[in-house]
Amino acid sequence: MSPVIYIPGDSGALALGAEKVAKAIAAELGARGIEATIVRNGSRGLYWLEPMVEVATDAGRVAYGPVKPSDVTSLFDAGLISGGQHRLSLGNPEQIPFLAKQTRLTFARCGITDPLSLDDYEAHGGLAGLRKAVAMAPADIVQTVTDSGLRGRGGAGFPTGIKWKTVHDTVAERKYIVCNADEGDSATFADRMIMEGDPFVLIEGMAIAGIATGATKGFVYIRSEYPHAIRAMEAAVRVARRAGVLGPAVLGSPNAFDIEIRAGAGAYVCGEETSLLNSLEGKRGVVRAKPPLPAIQGLFGKPTVINNVISLASVPIILDKGGEFYRDFGMGRSRGTIPIQIAGNVKHGGLFEAGFGLSLGEIVDEIGGGTATGRPVKAVQVGGPLGAYFPRDLFDTPFDYEAFAAKDGLIGHAGITVFDDTADMLKQARFAMEFCAIESCGKCTPCRIGSTRGVETLDKIAAGIEPEKNRALVTDLCNTMKFGSLCALGGFTPYPVMSAINHFPDDFAPQAKLEAAE
Amino acid sequence: MMQSQGTETEAQVAAIIEELKGLEGPLLPILHGVQEEFGYVPTEALPVIAEALNLSKAEVHGVVTFYHDYRIQPAGRHVLKLCQAEACQSMGSDAIAAQVKAALAVDFHQTAADGSVTLEPVYCLGLCACAPAAMLDGEVIGRLDADTVAEITAEVRT
């Protein structure tokens, strides 16, 4: 068997030069007359080490990184093919503390397998969940998912099993499974990584959802900012169809299920489920009032399961190992694992899947290793542009839906952006309002107009115009947006704004700063 | 001459519609197809699409203008998108944007006078652990710094 070299095709690795590294390695193999197979795997999620090149040896995988094209010749001189020592040697990647400390359930294969090889997928435990599902009664599949305690990983945290049960119990001639892959929150890239690195796990999860609820058609709505993920999913769907994983007889069973990949068009608000459904129908991505729930009247008015990528990608292992197995991870009412995405100004940025319950401080300081700039951490925003800014005082907060809600925050899609002490929290609060104004769908007044008034009022505070009065005004405005908006865009924009005001009051007192400067 | 060009555009749009109209909810895929073909969504495409999908022209116009992706006029030869979201902000995307704007003499949402490049802000490319990030003609670039900015500006000028 010829040696196998793994060079990630993940877009994060590509952004750091993986394509040039792959070309250099191919050229070097040719020049030296070495026969080897190059596999473009997903990323393991250790982005400070990307592009991370791995070689399969008799003693297991050996990793090198971060590799630059100019390192390639010396890597071959050092015996790359047999895992030889080099200054970029990382040894067995699974022993790197960042990976060794994780509990990889959803991301079990990501970065290990060839994303488009169904054989590789099966050899690493893939399709075991779907094989069990085709032999089960639909209601039992729903019960297993309910028992697992899985909650919506897109951010809302709604129990997945309950959603599925509603669709299962609603009688209709056509039902849909819609996968929300409109991962627009800054600091989040888990959906992108799994779609690029292990697309079959999402396909398998959607097929299980289809069998459980009686839906025969699935859509994956992927944001247009993710062209690599779109290509990977399209290719994987074609492979799955050819192999009979999708189609009129899923794995030879009487269940029909097929998937279509759809690209978004650059509207952040389409990550909101009802807006996404309108977009899929070919309409403006305007939010719908609920009720009716999408589970009863969703896509084209039909009962629809709409779940985030990670929720659906967590289903295969739940079916394979059982609801109890998954439920045994986590804390409180947050069961199972969560892929935490550590981003921004951080030394060890990447994806860290673990059971719920790590403290924010452990994640930022120990796992993330503090800031990339080496300066003190000032704030971390948890949950994307609609998530709260947390100061160091709150770093003992455990990563859990309820614990974050209790501190006026949210875990959202589990993205964490780290800021060093140069961050200006008034500027960040203003950006939250500005982003809401740019992305508002325009349907409800608090979001559409409130966000623009919010920018103006924060500008007044920055200019030192009646700061106290204007801080009170922003607080009042945030209250109106929080309780008066139709969806989370207007409703949650107050989280970053108010947390910045409450936890970093000094940044909102520019008058004092000006005087001090004079 | 103008007339025959219009007819040609309409024929190309009709071919795209024909290929995609069997999809459930075909409007966005059709608009993506039209933009891929022309680089933007020409005004004369709207009545053709509206007619084929039994929609009003206003409805199609409403959809085109709702989404940030659809252009109503051609872009430059290159399209450079700079991420301006929080994770990139934490790594100095503001300063990078200022450097790029100065080097290319364009602001966001503008095309350079020589038609070489269109500059756009983007709110997240999912490259948040290698910020600040950009996308040049669909290719992703991470950890932007003065050197990469210089490489990008050189590339778009060619």
Residues A321 and A204 reside in one and the same domain: yes
CATH number for the domain that contains residue A341: 3.10.20.600
Which residue, of B34, B66, B98, is where some domain finishes? B66
Which of B28, B89, B127 lies closest to A265 in CB terms? B28
Q: Which residues of A touch B129 (CB under 8 A)?
A: 12, 47-48, 189, 341-343, 346, 349-351
The shortest C-alpha distance from A297 to chain B (Å) reads 16
Q: Shortest CB distance from A265 goes to which of B69, B126, B141? A: B69
Whether residue B152 is contained in a domain is answered as yes
Residues making up chain A, counted from first to last:
518
Q: Write out the H or E segment, with its range, that includes residue B82.
A: strand B78-83
Domain count, chain A: 4
**Token duo for residue A138:** 């639909």
Looking at the structure of chain B, the number of domains it has is 2
Type of residue found at A98: F
Q: Does A497 have pLDDT greater than 80?
A: yes
In a domain, B73, yes or no: no
- Which residue among A283, A300, A439 places its CB closest to the CB of B63? A283
Q: Which residues from chain B sit within 8 angstroms of residue A14, using beta carbons? A: 139-140
- pLDDT value at position A2? 86
pLDDT grade, residue A516 (50/70/90)?
very low
Spatial strand order of the sheet with B134-136 comes to B110-111, B117-122, B78-83, B134-136, B139-141
Do A320 and A352 belong together in one domain?
no
Closest chain B C-alpha to A58 CA, distance in angstroms: 32
Domain CATH for A507: 1.20.1440.230
Tens of pLDDT, residues A356-389: 999 999 999 999 999 999 999 999 999 999 999 9
Q: Do A189 and B128 touch (CB under 8 A)?
A: yes
d(CA A223, CA A263): 6
Q: Is there a domain that residue B120 lies in?
A: yes
B122-148 residues labelled b (16+ CB within 10 A) or e (exposed): bbbbbbbbbbbbbbbeeebbbbbeeeb
DSSP state of A421: T
Same domain assignment for residues A152 and A273: yes
Partner B, chain A 367-396, Cβ-Cβ below 8 Å = 372, 381, 384-385
Does B96 reach chain A within 8 Å, measured CB to CB? no
User: What is the rounded distance in angstroms from the CA atom of residue B75 to the CA atom of residue B119?
Assistant: 9
Which of A23, A371, A417 would best serve as a mutation to test chain B binding (most B beta carbons within 10 A)? A417
Domain boundary among A305, A326, A347: A326
Can you tell me the distance from the alpha carbon of A240 to that of A244, in angstroms, rounded to the nearest whole number?
6
A110 located within any domain:
no
How many beta-carbon contacts under 8 Å exist across A and B? Answer: 153
B123/chain A closest Cα distance in angstroms: 7
Quick one: A65 and A185 in the same domain? no
Give the model confidence (pLDDT) of A171-188 as tens digits: 999 999 999 999 999 999
Where does a domain end: A272, A292, A326? Answer: A326
Look up the CATH number of the domain holding residue B152.
Answer: 3.40.30.10
Interface test with A, best of B91, B139, B147 (most A CBs within 10 A): B91
Distance between CA atoms of residues A323 and A320, nearest Å:
9
Domain boundary, last residue among A279, A297, A326: A326
Determine whether the interchain pair B87/A417 forms a contact, defined as Cβ–Cβ distance below 8 Å.
Answer: yes
* Gap between the Cα atoms of A125 and A319, Å rounded: 12
| Mutant choice from B36, B66, B69, B94 vs A, greatest count of A C-beta within 10 A | B66
- In-domain check, residue B71: no
Closest CA to A221 of A177, A163, A252: A177
Residue in chain A closest to B50 (alpha carbons) equals A282
Q: Is residue A108 part of a domain?
A: no
B61 and B87 both lie in a single domain: no
**Whole-number pLDDT of residue B158:** 77
User: Is B128 touching A (CB cutoff 8 A)?
Assistant: yes
Using a CB-CB cut-off of 8 Å, the residues of chain B touching A185 are 124
Q: What's the length of chain B?
A: 158
Q: How many other C-beta atoms can be found within 10 angstroms of the C-beta atom of residue A62? A: 21
Pick from A186, A285, A349: CB nearest B85: A186
Same domain, A283 and A212: yes
**Choosing among B17, B72, B86, which should be mutated to test the A contact, i.e. which has the most A CBs within 10 A?**
B86
Q: Is A300 on the interface with B (CB under 8 A)?
A: yes
Percent of chain A residues topping a pLDDT of 90: 97
**B62 lies in the same domain as B82:** no
User: A350 to chain B: nearest residue by CA?
Assistant: B129
Of B63, B126, B133, the CB nearest to A192: B126
Domain boundary among B12, B42, B66: B66
pLDDT value, residue B2: 45
In a domain, A259, yes or no: yes
Whether residues A349 and B128 touch (CB distance < 8 A) is answered with: yes
Residues spanned by the domain of B93: 78-157
Instruction: Return the residue of B nearest to A430 by Cα.
Output: B86
A345 touches chain B (CB under 8 A): yes
Instruction: Inform me whether the C-beta atom of residue B135 falls under 8 Å from chain A C-beta atoms.
Output: yes
Q: Is A265 in Cβ contact with B32 (below 8 Å)? A: yes
Whether residue A511 is predicted with pLDDT greater than 80 in this model: the reply is no
Instruction: Write out the DSSP string of A434-494.
Output: HHHHHH--SSSHHHHTHHHHHHHHHHHHHTTSSHHHHHHHHHHHHHHHHHH-SSHHHHHTH
Report ipTM (2 d.p.): 0.96
In this structure, are A75 and A23 located in the same domain?
Answer: yes
Residue A169, classed as helix, strand or coil, is helix
**Average of pLDDT values for B75-84?**
97
If pLDDT is split at 50, 70 and 90, which confidence band does A1 have?
Answer: low
Contact A125, A276 (CB under 8 A): no
Helix (H) or strand (E) holding B147: helix B146-157
The radius of gyration of chain B from alpha carbons, rounded to an integer in Å, stands at: 18
CATH classification of the domain holding A218: 3.40.50.11540
Å between A382 CA and nearest CA of chain B: 11
B65 CA: distance to closest CA in chain A (Å): 9
Q: CA A66 to CA A68: how far, in whole Å?
A: 7
- Interface probe for B, chosen from A10, A11, A269 (most Cβ of B below 10 Å), is A11
Residues B105-144 have pLDDT tens digits of 999 999 999 999 999 999 999 999 999 999 999 999 999 9
Query: What pLDDT sits at residue A348?
Result: 98
Within this chain, do residues B96 and B134 fall inside the same structural domain, yes or no?
yes
- The structure tokens listed for A135 are 């032999």
**Partner B, chain A 175-234, Cβ-Cβ below 8 Å:** 183-189, 191-192, 217, 224-228
pLDDT recorded at residue A510: 58
Whether the predicted pLDDT of A509 surpasses 80: yes
- Residues A131, A259, single domain; the answer is yes
Contact check, Cβ <8 Å, B28/A279: yes
Instruction: Indicate if B92 and B123 belong to the same structural domain.
Output: yes
Q: Which residues span the domain enclosing A8? A: 4-100
The answer to whether A341 contacts chain B (CB < 8 Å) is yes
Q: Are residues B20 and B82 in the same domain?
A: no
Which tokens hold the place of A18? 């993986």
Domain termination site, one of B66, B97, B113: B66
Same domain, B52 and B96: no
3 state SS for A30-54 = HHHCCCCEEECCCCCCEHHHCCCEE
Residue B47 lies inside a defined structural domain of this protein? yes
Q: Is B82 on the interface with A (CB under 8 A)?
A: no
Residue B105 exposed, middle or buried by CB count within 10 Å (0-12, 13-18, 19+) = exposed
Say yes or no: B24 and B87 in one domain.
no
Q: Give Cα separations from A513 to A122, A358, A467, A475 (angstroms).
A: 61, 37, 13, 22
Q: What residue of B is the nearest CA neighbor of A190?
A: B126
User: Strands B78-83 and B110-111: what pairing?
Assistant: unpaired
- Tell me the backbone φ, ψ of residue A340, rounded to 5 degrees: -80, 130
Whether residues B102 and B52 fall in one domain = no
Q: Do the Cβ atoms of A356 and A400 come closer than 8 Å?
A: yes
| Same domain as B56, residue B87 | no
Q: Find the radius of gyration of the CA atoms of chain A.
A: 24
The verdict on A403 and A451 lying in the same domain is no
CATH assignment at residue A42: 3.40.30.10
- In the stretch 459-518 of chain A, residues with CB closer than 8 A to chain B read none
Write the residue in A282, A284, A344 that is nearest to B131 by C-beta. A344
| pLDDT at residue A282 is higher than 90 | yes
| pLDDT for A262 beyond 80 | yes
Residues A425-467 pLDDT 10s = 999 999 999 999 999 999 999 999 999 999 999 999 999 999 9
Q: Which residues contact A6 (CB under 8 A, 6 or more apart)?
A: A38, A39, A40, A41, A53, A54, A55, A56, A61
B141 chain-A contacts, CB cut-off 8 A: 15
Is residue B39 in a domain?
yes
**Coil, strand or helix at A345:** coil
Chain A contact for B36 (CB, 8 A cutoff): no
Q: With 0-12 CB in 10 A as exposed, 13-18 as middle and 19+ as buried, what is A402? A: middle
What's the token pair of residue A483? Answer: 């309780």
CA gap A156, A410 in Å, rounded: 9
Arithmetic mean of pLDDT over chain A: 97
